[in-house]
């Protein structure tokens, strides 16, 4: 089993609720599965560069050639700039494809995801990146996705600001489009995280505490799931 753990909060201190929750998931997961398959990437500490013309040129060439799998993209590189862009891109795609589970810490920024997470999404979305060589099948169809969402306000279904949530619907639509099955996606949210700081939200502190406790319990339970062992056939 392997886990790719991505943090995207700009706040790299212990005050970050999303980082605390993803760390809880990761430590629980490692206790069950062992540390060997664990991979961590901090998208704030080591930002993914934004796309440029060379990335776009190489991507368009790949599309014209019929969505060449990642292993063949290097043969289509025509400049040092394109070589650099592919050198930045391929390792990110490789570690995503190698993960059985992808864990994303996604705080809500201005109703959507952080720029750090969006930059990673843009870069790994290279044409043909998720097409399995030989078969043409989607390489992410068995990948499990866990998104831990933190929001300063309340955006859950039934709340007044539900329509302003462009975070979870966006991530759900994006990963579904990339081939991750709906049944393999889990979204865990902690809401009203600003209530403990902002005086005008003080009345919501009990709600914030309840939401965080529920998120922690869900994170722990999900990360603790034991791997399914293959059935052993009896032989005579």
In a domain, 231, yes or no: no
pTM (two decimals): 0.91
pLDDT of residue 35: 93
pLDDT of residue 137: 73
> What is 48-76 written as a DSSP string?
PPPP-HHHHHHHHHHHHTT---HHHHGGG
* Domain membership of residue 133 as a residue range: 3-223
How many domains does the chain contain in total?
A: 1
In a domain, 233, yes or no: no
Is residue 97 helix, strand or coil? helix
Mean pLDDT of 33-45: 96
In a domain, 236, yes or no: no
The CATH number of whichever domain residue 188 belongs to comes to 3.40.50.360
In a domain, 230, yes or no: no
Q: Does residue 183 carry a pLDDT above 80?
A: yes
Q: Does residue 199 carry a pLDDT above 60?
A: yes
Q: Does residue 135 carry a pLDDT above 90?
A: no
Q: In which residue are the tokens 């500490």 written?
A: 45
Q: Does residue 233 carry a pLDDT above 50?
A: no
Q: What is the DSSP code (8-state) at residue 41?
A: E
Q: pLDDT digit string (tens) for 217-230? A: 999 999 998 765 54
Lowest mean pLDDT among 46-55, 110-119, 218-227: 218-227
Mean pLDDT of 112-135: 90
pLDDT of residue 229: 52
In a domain, 119, yes or no: yes
Which is nearest to 190 in space by CA: 163, 162, 209, 171?
209
pLDDT of residue 231: 47
In a domain, 29, yes or no: yes
């Amino acid at each position: 089993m392997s886990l790719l753990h991505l943090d995207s909060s700009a706040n790299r201190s212990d005050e970050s609720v999303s980082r605390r929750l993803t760390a809880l998931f990761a430590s629980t997961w490692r206790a069950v599965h062992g540390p060997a398959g664990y991979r961590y990437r901090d998208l704030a500490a080591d930002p993914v560069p934004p796309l440029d013309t060379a990335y776009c040129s190489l991507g368009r060439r790949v599309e014209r050639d019929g969505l060449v799998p990642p292993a063949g993209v290097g043969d289509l590189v025509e400049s040092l700039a394109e070589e650099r862009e592919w050198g930045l891109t391929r390792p990110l795609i490789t570690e995503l494809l190698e993960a059985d589970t992808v864990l994303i810490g996604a705080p809500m920024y201005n109703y959507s995801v952080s720029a750090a997470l969006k930059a990673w999404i843009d870069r790994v979305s290279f044409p043909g990146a998720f097409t399995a060589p030989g078969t043409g099948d989607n390489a992410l169809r068995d990948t499990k996705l866990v998104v831990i969402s933190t929001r300063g306000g309340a955006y859950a279904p039934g709340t007044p600001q539900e329509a302003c949530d462009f975070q979870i619907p966006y991530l759900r639509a994006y990963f579904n489009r990339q081939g991750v099955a709906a049944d393999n996606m889990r979204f865990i949210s902690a809401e009203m995280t600003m209530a403990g700081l902002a005086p005008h939200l003080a009345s919501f502190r009990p709600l914030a505490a309840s939401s965080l406790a529920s998120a922690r319990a869900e994170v722990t339970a999900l990360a603790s799931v034991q791997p399914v062992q293959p059935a052993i056939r009896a032989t005579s």
